[in-house]
Amino acid sequence: MDALELLIAKDAIRDLQSRYMRGQDRLDAQMQHDCFWPDATTDYGIFKGSGHDFVAFAQDLLKGHKANQHLIGQSLIEVEGDIGFGEVYYFAFHRVEIDGQDRDMIIAGRYVDRYERRDGVWKFAHRTELVDWGRMDPAADGFLADLTGILMGARGAEDRSSQRDWLRTA
């Protein structure tokens, strides 16, 4: 694999990582499903099984949250022909309600991935999630309610990022 082919492969894998996270945050199950090969496996500790079964598990779990945001940090990607290996840092924010109080659950860790290119397309063949640390705090963004003109994010079609027709003429 020459330098240009390697660069293209790594870019496709980074795009895969971003689509996975967007599918999770916007509760777009189809986008997240499309990131896994049909025979992909996962091990998240709290869930171990197929990639597609994990998507159903995660989407159902996150529906109970008020908001989520997953940020991708540095990633080390190594490509060996049609197989790639990755270590991807993440920072995950979850707004949850516990005993009637909004809480912010923050989890940071890494994904350890195996990617496979089939018919020119890169997808997850295996994904493991490692948790490095976490914390739970009372929600502290009540001040936003006092500000006017704030555009808040949403899930699915309600989020501006899903409104391509609006964005074309904005």
6-38 pLDDT tens trace: 999 999 999 999 999 999 999 999 999 999 999
Contacts (Cβ under 8 Å, ≥6 apart) of 90: 21, 70, 71, 72, 73, 108, 109, 110, 111
Confidence of residue 145 (pLDDT cuts 50, 70, 90): confident
Cα–Cα distance measured from residue 32 to residue 122, given in angstroms and rounded to the nearest whole number: 14
- What is the predicted pLDDT for the residue at 159? 83
Q: What mean pLDDT value characterizes the chain? A: 94
Global pTM reads 0.89
Residue 38 host element (H or E):
strand 36-43
Contacts (Cβ under 8 Å, ≥6 apart) of 102: 66, 95, 96, 138, 139
Model pLDDT for residues 102-134, shown as the tens digit of each residue: 999 999 999 999 999 999 999 999 999 999 999
Question: Residue 129, Cα to own-chain centre: how many angstroms?
Answer: 11
- Give the single-character DSSP code of 117: E
- What is the predicted pLDDT for the residue at 165? 86
**Is residue 110 within 8 Å of residue 130, measured between CB atoms?**
yes
Confidence of residue 142 (pLDDT cuts 50, 70, 90): confident
- What is the predicted pLDDT for the residue at 6? 97
- What would the CATH number be for the domain defined by 3-165? 3.10.450.50
**Is residue 63 within 8 Å of residue 48, measured between CB atoms?**
no
